[in-house]
Amino acid sequence: MSPLDLPPDLRSRLRGIAIAPRRPAMLGGAGVHASRNRGGGMEFAQYRAYEQGDEPRLIDWKLYARSDKFFVRDAERESPVVIWMVIDASASMAQADLARPEWSRFDAARQLAACLMQIALAQGDRFGLIVESAADPLILAPGSGARHRDRIALALARATPAGAADWARHANSLGERIGTADVAIVLSDGFDEELIAMIERLAASGRDLRLIRILTGDERDFPFDRGYRFRDAESGASLLGGSGQRDAFLARFAAARAALDTRLDARGIAHAEHFIDGRADAPIARIAGGARAR
Whether pLDDT at 54 is above 90:
no
- Is the pTM higher than 0.75? The answer reads yes
Distance CA 266, CA 274 (A): 21
Question: Which residue would you say has higher pLDDT here, 185 or 52?
Answer: 185
What's the number of domains the chain is made of? 2
Task: Indicate the residue among 56, 76, 96 that finishes a domain.
Answer: 76
- The angle that helices 167-177 and 193-204 make with each other, rounded to 10 degrees, is 30
For residues 6 and 111, the answer to whether their CB atoms sit within 8 Å is: yes
Most confident of 29-33, 34-38, 55-59, 140-144: 140-144
Q: What is the CATH number of the domain that holds 135?
A: 3.40.50
Task: Indicate the residue among 76, 96, 118 that finishes a domain.
Answer: 76
Share of the chain above pLDDT 70, in %: 79
Structural domain boundaries enclosing 56? 43-76
- Tell me if 37 is assigned to some domain: no
Q: Mean pLDDT throughout 18-36?
A: 58
Q: Are residues 156 and 63 in the same domain?
A: no
Whether pLDDT at 273 is above 90:
yes
Q: In this predicted structure, what is the pLDDT of residue 41?
A: 40
Q: Are residues 249 and 113 in the same domain?
A: yes
Q: Are residues 62 and 167 in the same domain?
A: no
Q: Are residues 153 and 228 in the same domain?
A: yes
For residue 260, give the nearest of 285, 233, 293, 288 by alpha carbon: 293
Question: Which residue would you say has higher pLDDT here, 249 or 74?
Answer: 249
162-166, 180-184, 215-219: range with lowest mean pLDDT = 162-166
Give the CB-side neighbour count of residue 103, counting CA atoms within 13 A.
19
All residues at 6 or more sequence positions from 169 whose CB lies less than 8 Å from its CB, including other chains: none
All residues at 6 or more sequence positions from 86 whose CB lies less than 8 Å from its CB, including other chains: 130, 132, 174, 184, 185, 186, 187, 188
Whether pLDDT at 26 is above 50:
no
Q: Are residues 58 and 182 in the same domain?
A: no
Question: Which residue would you say has higher pLDDT here, 179 or 52?
Answer: 179
Whether pLDDT at 29 is above 50:
no
pLDDT tens for residues 63-72?
878 888 887 7
Q: Mean pLDDT throughout 134-142?
A: 89
Q: Are residues 113 and 252 in the same domain?
A: yes
Whether pLDDT at 35 is above 60:
no
User: Mean pLDDT score of the chain, rounded to an integer?
Assistant: 83
pLDDT band at 244 (very low <50, low <70, confident <90, very high): low
Q: In this predicted structure, what is the pLDDT of residue 226?
A: 62
Q: Which residues pair with residue 48 across a beta bridge?
A: 72
Distance CA 152, CA 14 (A): 19
pLDDT tens for residues 83-122?
999 999 999 999 999 899 999 999 999 999 999 999 999 9
- Within 10 Å of residue 266's Cβ, how many Cβ atoms? 9
Q: In this predicted structure, what is the pLDDT of residue 208?
A: 95
Q: Which residues pair with residue 73 across a beta bridge?
A: 47
Q: In this predicted structure, what is the pLDDT of residue 234?
A: 57
